[in-house]
Chains A and B, each alone.
Chain A
């Protein structure tokens, strides 16, 4: 191996590839970044078996085609600290091929290689494209759903660690839940070729989102492989493992007959909730909302033995059409309000034991809030 390439190209490629670098000590080979030289292209590849990144950069190849695997973390650090120069060269140590010399400006690194034969096989891009999404919208969808999942390290219920993506009727529905609250976002798809549904772990989607934001393309193509989805754009492929679990039937838990509407100024409600949460009981985070037909305000209060109590009135747009007293975990409402952008939101309620629904409302809905919906179950207090 012997090639020269633009420093910026390699830095960019290594950075993207680093999102899929393995860290598990049980498979040290996955900490490697694989480089395939084929004529005048260098393909960079990383995987931790849950996700993979593949990208290509142009090079000036001065020898034959070859594959090497280098320590990815070391390469990432080098890429972040290269000296001023616009070119970089990599050359196999002629003696036995177990080391690579990387040169940039006056800096010279001697890097040991990892055994290529140990590196897992690279899955080829499947032939069928099933959809194309708008990157910007996809990004907002992820932002408004990922937060409602459970961390994979904290649960055994895999379905609750992911965002369910339903490609249907020319739109992509993204749904997530931890079993007590649910976030839903519907975005218009650029194109749906084949209707389908996939569940992908939130951590993987976060990495996908970061990779997409670095590339800056307007759209991303989605291909379906076996047990994985391929997201391709601008010569970069991100492979995401899908979760082979059934996602709960979310449509059935979205309230459709909540008639008591409480329209709030989003930021006013958010800051009230953050204050009232201070004195909520630690275990439940429970805060009580009280609405009557007497005033166009909702009283929110909380109390706990050790922290004290707090109460506050928050204005609602209109006098409620009914009275209710309902308890929620403050954090669940705060999570949702923080991820919305519109000036006004409406909390739709029915009874104290049934789910509440939050959606942006008012004359002007922020474009970022198009198709967003949040469902939250209340807390029940009994004697």
Chain B
């Protein structure tokens, strides 16, 4: 060892866990007749998009973010289901519980994905390499689902490792093997390298991570500015971002990208209404109230507008969030000739739902009972099964 004794390096052990085809796998778990069959979960409406396809469905060429209509053409015999978020959340919480038995340092990235830091766990539970085997095993036995896990000296490599042998993968990248693993991989395996960057790199003759690693820092900075520096570091497997501890969510939002741009105002408004109610459902599910409503609209030229407004008092009422989201759309978003490719609705400035300022004009009791009934039905039969009539305008005034 070249390290002086005073600078003994602690070996960081970060794991990344990704549930395999999560939504579809849960459906197959709950309904045995779906097992071994192509299951596709996503929006079932005319413009629905695939959220998750089971591995059986993927063999037909069905993938996430694909328009439902196209999936149905590729896989006409597939089982098509609307997502049941509350059920997925339940399972997600169970998975999280397994992990937290080994470390308190868990960062849930999304409903089916988490980072966890096992550096300090080794003294208590043994080598991290063994802990992840136990975690995988328990998720498989106790819950009945498979996942892919990566273990590495940092977050970037851990995530990359978990992606290498999906499904049911377990890949460990040790410090010594970093370059060996990275070098042959295509550049798009790097965090933040999307289609655009990939194309630009390719035009510069860079297609593998090795190519990127051998490019000079000066060259990358000249071509890509500040992100050139990041590319230079990631190509070497360097990443010092920490596992972000689970904290109270700062905002809750839902967004949707359309396979074909939307032009008609009624269509756009109906998406806003739906996303507002989905956001409210999640607020109630998490027992939170939000004070600021925000909408996001991305146009066909990728120009993106976000607008937000304060509610005065916090709420989880879908009716109110819908009313404000529509106000923002109508008053502050110029829907000119451009098509709309993405719409998002969210709320922020969240607080605990145990303290609630009651409203003068909305019958909160009645409203809450109605919305909770919808939540329960959606939890059981999938979102979209029950929906409010669209004639209803929220808030305390009419909108016209």
Contacts and interface: CB of A to CB of B under 8 A. Distances in A.
B358 interface: yes
Interface stretch (B93-101, B209-217, B359-367, B384-392): B359-367
A181 B355 contact: no
Interface string A176-205: 011111100000000000000000000000
Interface stretch (B11-19, B175-183, B257-265, B323-331): B323-331
A51 interface: no
B397 A245 contact: yes
Contacts of A383: 354
Interface size class of A (residues with CB under 8 A): 35 or more
Contacts of A160: 312, 396-397
A156 interface: yes
A155 B395 CA distance: 12
Nearest to B355: A284
Given A155-B310, A156-B324, A156-B328, A179 B359 contact: yes
Contacts of A355: 360
Contacts of B309: 154-156
A377 interface: yes
Nearest to B353: A382
B351 interface: yes
Which of A158, A179, A281 counts the most chain B CB atoms within 10 A? A179
Nearest to A383: B354
Given A154-B310, A353-B365, A381-B354, A177 B360 contact: yes
Interface in B309-334: 309-310, 312-314, 323-324, 327-328, 331-332
Given A150-B312, A383-B354, A157 B396 contact: yes
B396 A180 contact: no
B398 interface: yes
A284 B356 CA distance: 8
Contact of A329 (B291, B328, B357, B398): B357
A80 interface: no
Contacts of B395: 157
A182 B360 contact: yes
B360 A382 contact: no
B355 A283 contact: yes
B356 A380 contact: yes
A382 B356 contact: yes
A180 B358 contact: yes
A177 B395 CA distance: 13
A377 B358 contact: yes
Nearest to A253: B360
A177 B361 CA distance: 10
A42 interface: no
Given A180-B313, A247-B397, A283-B314, A156 B331 contact: yes
A146 interface: no
A1 to B, nearest CB: 42
Nearest to B356: A380
Contacts of A150: 312
Contacts of B331: 156
Contacts of B357: 180, 284, 329, 377, 379
A382 B365 CA distance: 13
A353 B358 contact: yes
A381 B355 contact: yes
Nearest to A375: B360
Contact of B361 (A154, A158, A179): A179
Nearest to A378: B358
Nearest to A285: B357
Given A155-B309, A159-B397, A281 B359 contact: no
A248 interface: yes
- Which of B310, B327, B356 has the most C-beta atoms of chain A within 10 angstroms of its own C-beta? B356
- Chain A interface secondary structure, helix, strand, loop or mixed? loop
A180 B327 contact: no
Nearest to B325: A156
Contact of A281 (B291, B327, B355, B356): B355
Interface string A297-322: 00000000000000000000000000
A180 B397 contact: no
A262 interface: no
B356 A379 contact: yes
Nearest to A248: B396
Contacts of B310: 154-155
Nearest to A282: B351
Contacts of A381: 354-356
A381 B358 CA distance: 10
Contacts of B361: 179, 248-249, 253
A86 interface: no
Contacts of A249: 361
Nearest to B309: A156
A366 interface: no
Interface string A34-46: 0000000000000
A286 to B, nearest CB: 6
Interface in A224-281: 245-249, 253, 281
Interface string A123-151: 00000000000000000000000000010
A247 B360 CA distance: 13
B287 to A, nearest CB: 9
Given A178-B312, A375-B360, A157 B327 contact: yes
A224 to B, nearest CB: 22
B324 to A, nearest CB: 6
A38 B123 CA distance: 95
Contact of A156 (B327, B353, B355, B396): B327
21 contacts: A155-B309, A155-B312, A156-B328, A156-B332, A157-B324, A159-B396, A177-B360, A179-B312, A246-B398, A248-B361, A283-B351, A284-B355, A284-B357, A286-B355, A353-B365, A375-B360, A377-B360, A379-B358, A380-B358, A381-B355, A383-B354
Given A160-B396, A248-B396, 14 more contacts: A155-B309, A155-B310, A155-B312, A156-B332, A157-B324, A159-B397, A160-B312, A179-B313, A246-B398, A248-B360, A377-B357, A377-B358, A377-B360, A379-B355
Interface of B: 291, 309-310, 312-314, 323-324, 327-328, 331-332, 351, 353-361, 364-365, 395-398
Interface of A: 150, 154-160, 177-182, 245-249, 253, 281, 283-284, 286, 329, 353, 355, 375, 377-383
